[in-house]
Chains A and B, each alone.
Chain A
């Protein structure tokens, strides 16, 4: 039997009939068609599927789509404002906070919630705050730097923007 699900994703309303067993992450990827939210495990360890549900960071593999009925969701695709990157996205770019990029959307979503809760985290608070997300490429060094740099930008320090440097003449 299918159930109706009505959600707002990145400001747009969606309504679908879904199987009750459909996970929210599969709903977002396969039904809504937003593939920026990734799946890296089956056991809620890796955090690659982190999104915001009513403003709170949630691993979207831990919820059924039907549980999201009536909620407002934000995915990685909803973070930038047009061409203008969210300061955390910008910071991940500036600080080389990603390599293969697969875990990155989850990290950005988790970091956004962390900074909302704690706009000025210490390094230790960042490391403990993002323990629920796994990365296999970066050794976390530059992810920590990116979150620190985003915290600075978001608290009003002037933004540093990466631009591709033009070479030659």
Chain B
């Protein structure tokens, strides 16, 4: 890279002026002339056979354009929802899914009919007039019972409720280690089901132009190209006939990756009625239908020596798949592969079981599999420390993978690229005033107060992700990333990336990289994304903390190609050998004669002129794809300080410290923002949030923001942040991902603090969410 002026600097976001003035463009801000509005009739029950649907009254309602049921979409929509074969070689059963149910509904919220009307209100009114008769069936809601012989089935036609059952590494692998153990600690650890709840719900606007046979759809998506791929296939169109535009996206957190039933139905409705069709999700529809996260439990066992040396771990993961296999739902078993955390183990045996239930499908949610892994390993390590009466700091330091061990091949063959775990832990302890906190804890305990300190020394794999590892998991399409850089005759630079921001500030970060590399002002660079009609032929989207570590590197590669072409042209202009021309500070010049110099813009202009070197074509633009050689491995150490009210059971977070390492940093302000948001989302999982269904009827009990507790400002303590910087050797920018770090790290720091606070009562383990009600009952029970 040429000069570094912008990379590493706190550059204020270029996207903000429109967003702070009310001029952003979110999905509901788009409407086409002649738009009809869709409303969907959804199953009010978790599991039933659809006996009949009476649309007579609805068809006659004011403003109604059309009413359709499943049969009407036959011939309009082919196939089923794609379910990625991801990461689990042995699939037992993947139920077929059509975007609209015909004979059987398998979760509350599944679509059974669609209404189109002239206004939103009329569509909603008419949807209420549709009479559906259901024959209710038993709902499968409990993972363990679902696996028992003779259990009711989530799908009547399925063989049983096992979606997958896969052993990565068998039990006998760890047998010897367990035999030599001085202590064995066992624990079942729950992962509460969560609703992602981006502040902007989903929505789709589709316009099919029959004479051109072209479909344009606007939707709130993290990966518009994959939506184009899936929707074109389902509608029997070529990808070239479909344009997908994902405008400003009001948050996603994983819930806007996969295609949804409405993403197929709305364009089909447009084609069926020759009208632009719009549908915007209500918040209740969102909590009911947008894919959920987590929803798992783990049976864990750890073997250790008396001195705290960790020997081996056994883990069985049970995943609540939901009623259908989420498109990327089978990514969740990555938790098994990451179960060892940042420690050395002789062996880890791991098995994952995916279980079908009558709930909405689960899919990746911020962190996806890696928060679960951190939560379980950091919980187990604390339990071992408690058993051995060791300080949680000492057991961690004793077992960390050491800086000189990198690149480190862990138990599942993944190669951890870099790290310095002790350094980040020391920094976090210093910021927390750990020794002081322990003294204070001893004093408070004497007063009968419940004060706890929790650690999380987390590691992450992200930046998906080497083609060799990801192509088999995504149906053949490797998760690489594309970029295109176009330089206009006047030297303006337009950059297209296949990633798509939903709040991460790519317009700023990526422009910083390009401006530095080209030595041009930031405002000469325009970053564009989210429209499949522009830029490269395919983009891979934003999830898994991959945008910078894969997409940013692709951009940098494309810029490099442009610089190289410019160099050839400059050499020709200077009548010098190409190898004598250098590009520095935005100028080409001949080595040793700085007076022979052309600015990048001048060379750009010349590239559109005549008199180019023989064989060179006009123009200055380049495409690059980046296939990373490895994943990237961020890490860090968090400390949570909690006091639990002895009377009410309320856990109050007094202090939260996060020291994170994401390699080189392009924009520290944005990195801090990502950590803030991630940490708070994980605090919310630890203390507040849980999707609750009635266990017998399968009714969703947390279907609004009244019942599903997103924390507000009042609940959240100030966060203290710091960082260490260990550049990644995996890519030229030395960067790692940071989008998910906070959620990966924080839930267990809080829960370990809660457990530490309650340990004088003999309470060893608390599951999430640690609500006042739960803690009050546990404390009451323990005091008996």
Contact = CB atoms under 8 A, between A and B. Distances in A.
- State whether these chains interact: yes
Interface of A: 19, 21, 29, 34-43, 45-46, 48, 75-77, 79-80, 85, 89, 92-94, 96, 98-105, 108, 123, 126-128, 130-144, 162-169
24 contacts: A35-B22, A41-B283, A46-B705, A76-B21, A92-B16, A94-B12, A99-B251, A100-B199, A100-B503, A101-B250, A101-B503, A102-B198, A105-B20, A130-B712, A131-B714, A134-B705, A137-B677, A139-B676, A140-B676, A140-B716, A166-B521, A167-B6, A167-B521, A168-B516
B612 to A, nearest CB: 25
B602 interface: no
B248 A101 contact: yes
Nearest to B249: A100
B41 interface: no
A144 B676 CA distance: 12
B522 A134 contact: no
Given A93-B12, A167-B519, A167-B521, 11 more contacts: A29-B28, A80-B21, A96-B670, A96-B672, A100-B502, A102-B24, A102-B26, A139-B679, A144-B713, A162-B12, A164-B14
B526 to A, nearest CB: 13
A134 B200 CA distance: 11
Contact of A93 (B20, B248, B704): B20
Contacts of A40: 199-201, 250, 283
B708 to A, nearest CB: 9
B680 A140 contact: yes
Contacts of A19: 121
Q: Which 7 residue pairs are nearest across A and B when measured between Cβ atoms?
A: A36-B22, A102-B250, A101-B19, A100-B503, A139-B680, A76-B22, A139-B676
A151 to B, nearest CB: 15
A96 B199 CA distance: 17
B676 A136 contact: no
Nearest to B253: A136
B15 interface: yes
B502 A96 contact: no
B24 A43 contact: no
Contacts of A131: 712-714
B159 interface: no
B719 interface: yes
B523 A164 contact: yes
Contacts of B249: 100
B349 interface: no
Contact of B714 (A42, A80, A128): A128
B435 interface: no
A77 to B, nearest CB: 5
Contact of B29 (A35, A167, A168): A35
Interface of B: 3, 5-6, 9, 11-17, 19-24, 26, 28-29, 121, 197-201, 248-251, 253, 282-284, 502-505, 512, 515-516, 518-524, 585-587, 599, 669-670, 672-674, 676-681, 704-706, 710, 712-714, 716, 718-719, 742
Contacts of B520: 167-168
Contacts of B200: 38, 40, 100, 102
A134 B710 contact: yes
Nearest to A79: B21
A4 B713 CA distance: 39
Given A46-B705, A136-B251, A167-B5, A104 B19 contact: yes
B19 to A, nearest CB: 3
Contacts of B521: 166-168
Nearest to B714: A131
Contacts of B201: 40
A163 B14 CA distance: 10
A99 B283 contact: no
Contact of B673 (A75, A142, A144): A142
Nearest to B680: A139
Contacts of A143: 713
A10 B121 CA distance: 27
Given A38-B200, A166-B522, A100 B121 contact: no
A118 to B, nearest CB: 15
B515 A108 contact: no
A107 to B, nearest CB: 10
Given A29-B28, A167-B5, A168-B586, A96 B12 contact: yes
Contact of B677 (A37, A93, A102, A136): A136
A99 B713 CA distance: 16
Contacts of A35: 22, 26, 28-29
Contacts of B23: 36, 77
Contacts of B742: 139
A22 to B, nearest CB: 8
Contacts of B13: 93, 96
A21 B6 CA distance: 52
A35 B19 CA distance: 11
A4 B192 CA distance: 49
